[in-house]
Structure 1
Amino acid sequence: MARRSIPTARRVRIGTELRKLREGTGLTATEAARLLGTSQGQLSNVETARFGVSSDRLRAMATTYSCADDAFVDALVQMSEDRQRGWWEEYREILPSGLLDLAELEHHSRGLRGAITAHIPGLLQTLEHAREVFRHAVPTMTPPEIEHRASFRIKRQAVLYGDSPRRYQALIHEAALRIQVGGPDVARRQLEHVLDMSERDHITVQVIPFTAGAFPGSGQSIYYAYGPVPRLDTVHLDQSHGLAFLDAASQLDQYRVLFDRLEAAALLPAQSRDLIHSISRSL
């Protein structure tokens, strides 16, 4: 088992899922370790992501825990075998680890779904818009910090380009489209960029208009990343006190329903583009 001082988000998820499987059988860590022929300490190190786990040991654990979901186990094995360092690692000493976990989550996802009220989604922001957002952050960021945050945000957008771009659905409230971040010129270019991106086959942009009234999830920014199998999906919440990642089955079910309701409240893509055009022309 290879040790790493700062575990990747995927290794943390593997450990979490293995712990869930063990607990689902009613086995204590000591009992499971005895069945697996290892120590309780080594098992704990895997579940808490202090150590990685080999594909053979992972399959042995799944068998011991009576997991019959082959697709789920195969996905965990693939995650355990992929140990390449991503581009986000170059920011390891510069940005909070939660942002790096987010970039890793996006990179390995099958698709992405986001809902946001007061801002343009990060994956659709222009560089000048992103800089303006970070200039108004609390606590105040230094110019180098602003550039690090902005460049990191733009690099995250690579998941929407290339030969295998992720399918992405953005549900944006009309308020976010009307806030003139950086002034009219910057705001206009930002809206034009959202329109350009919305024309891509793999990107769907839908606007929740003011006329929709109250809607679920209006008080937070919500991000849903599809894993290789539904059990490995993740919900990301961007909150004032930091980033939160949710992966419990009941939480995933709750946010799938929430996104479906948000989509039902939003305008259709063509109607959304018309509204964005109208707002852009008014600037």
Structure 2
Amino acid sequence: MPVRKPPTERQRRLGAELRKMRERLGLSLTEAAAMHGTDRTTVSNIESGRFGVSADRVRVWAANYSCPDRDYVDALVEIARERRSAWAGWWDDYRETLAVGNLDLAEMEHHAVGFRAVQLAHMPGLLQHEDYARAVFEEAVPPLTPGDLERKVAFRVRRGTILDRAEPPKCTYLIHEAALRMRFGGRDVTKTQLDHLLKQSDRENVTIRVLPFVAGGVPSAGHSTLYAYGPVGQLDTVQSDTPAGPRFLHSETHLANYRAVLDRVEQRSLDPVSSRDFIRDVARQL
């Protein structure tokens, strides 16, 4: 019997959404199991993402829970179909060599319809030039082996190819002046990265806004934040970086709080045209 792969963050999310439906009705696991004609353990395992669930079962459970949002249910059905299909994302090629959190991040980016992010110390991952990405990973503690270093660089660069799709995600990046001036790799690499950032800002789907030092403090200044928009609002996800790897949040409270944070940061940022001029000024000062 083949070894069962551990559930991905996206698969766990499907189970979590089914759990939210149940909890909104105030049903216990036992009551839900009786409603669905199954047992309590099966419901628990599906909600935790340990067991897969068919598209048909998702529709039946959603109907049993009286979920009125057809678009939301359709989006959940698509996630269920993914798990049972033979297709695996390109990131699965790295499953034995990179941390699972990195794969979950690439999968989330692949399926998102848009992003809004605050970057305080690094350039956005999807907008990093290869040389800049290498310089960032060279600061890893403990140091990476040459093979691991190049593998991480290749993975990060490949993540950025989603911007080349026929229908790429719409992205807004709020980048602090500190990130623009942080010289990873030295002057030449930083200059190349700033030039690359300006080229990326020419894309119709990419908006870059700079938060200058003079704007003062900002909420959530201790870490960078990525807000990924799902096909429906209920499937939005917040991803933040931690020393232990990516952290994914999707409760209604978390989503609302992070939208408020991003709104406040964006209000203090320069407009896109002024931001491009600001980046050019920083590049000229190098």
Match of 1:103 among 102, 106, 110: 106
**Does the Cα contact within 8 Å between 1:170 and 1:206 map onto a contact in 2?**
yes
**Does the Cα contact within 8 Å between 2:15 and 2:49 map onto a contact in 1?**
yes
Q: Would you say how many aligned residue pairs link Structure 1 and Structure 2?
A: 282
- Name the residue aligned to 1:43: 43
Pair 1:115 & 2:107 matched = no
Q: SS of 1:170's equivalent?
A: strand
- Name the residue aligned to 2:249: 246
Q: SS of 2:76's equivalent?
A: helix
- Name the residue aligned to 2:56: 56
- Name the residue aligned to 1:217: 220
Whole-angstrom distance in 1 between the partners of 2:247 and 2:41: 27
Whole-angstrom distance in 2 between the partners of 1:44 and 1:215: 40
- Name the residue aligned to 1:261: 264
Q: Supply the AA of the counterpart residue of 1:129.
A: Y
**Residue segments in structure 2 that go unaligned for 5+ positions in a row:** none
- Name the residue aligned to 1:158: 161
State the TM-score, normalized to the length of structure 2. 0.96
Does 191-200 or 238-247 show the bigger shift?
238-247
Sequence identity percentage? 48
Q: Supply the AA of the counterpart residue of 2:94.
A: Y
- Name the residue aligned to 2:150: 147
Deviation at 1:78, TM superposition (A): 1.6
Residues 1-25 of structure 1, C-alpha deviations (whole Å, 9 max, x = no match): xx94211222111101001111221
Q: Supply the AA of the counterpart residue of 2:26.
A: G
Deviation at 1:30, TM superposition (A): 1.4
Whole-angstrom distance in 2 between the partners of 1:56 and 1:244: 30
Pair 1:30 & 2:30 matched = yes
Residues 14-62 of structure 1, C-alpha deviations (whole Å, 9 max, x = no match): 1010011112211111111111111112212211112211111111111
State the TM-score, normalized to the length of structure 1. 0.97
Does 57-66 or 106-115 show the bigger shift?
57-66
Pair 1:70 & 2:70 matched = yes
Whole-angstrom distance in 2 between the partners of 1:277 and 1:87: 35
Q: Supply the AA of the counterpart residue of 2:63.
A: T
CA-atom RMSD, angstroms? 1.4
- Name the residue aligned to 1:279: 282
Q: Supply the AA of the counterpart residue of 1:257.
A: A
Residues 165-222 of structure 1, C-alpha deviations (whole Å, 9 max, x = no match): 1111111000110111111111100000000001111100010001101111211110
Q: SS of 1:15's equivalent?
A: helix
Match of 1:87 among 85, 90, 97: 90
- Name the residue aligned to 1:20: 20
Q: Supply the AA of the counterpart residue of 2:79.
A: M
**Residue segments in structure 1 that go unaligned for 5+ positions in a row:** none
Residues 110-133 of structure 1, C-alpha deviations (whole Å, 9 max, x = no match): 101111111111111111111111
Deviation at 1:270, TM superposition (A): 0.6
Q: Supply the AA of the counterpart residue of 1:138.
A: V
Q: Supply the AA of the counterpart residue of 1:147.
A: E
Pair 1:188 & 2:191 matched = yes
Pair 1:177 & 2:180 matched = yes
Q: SS of 1:238's equivalent?
A: strand
Q: Supply the AA of the counterpart residue of 2:206.
A: I
Q: SS of 1:68's equivalent?
A: coil
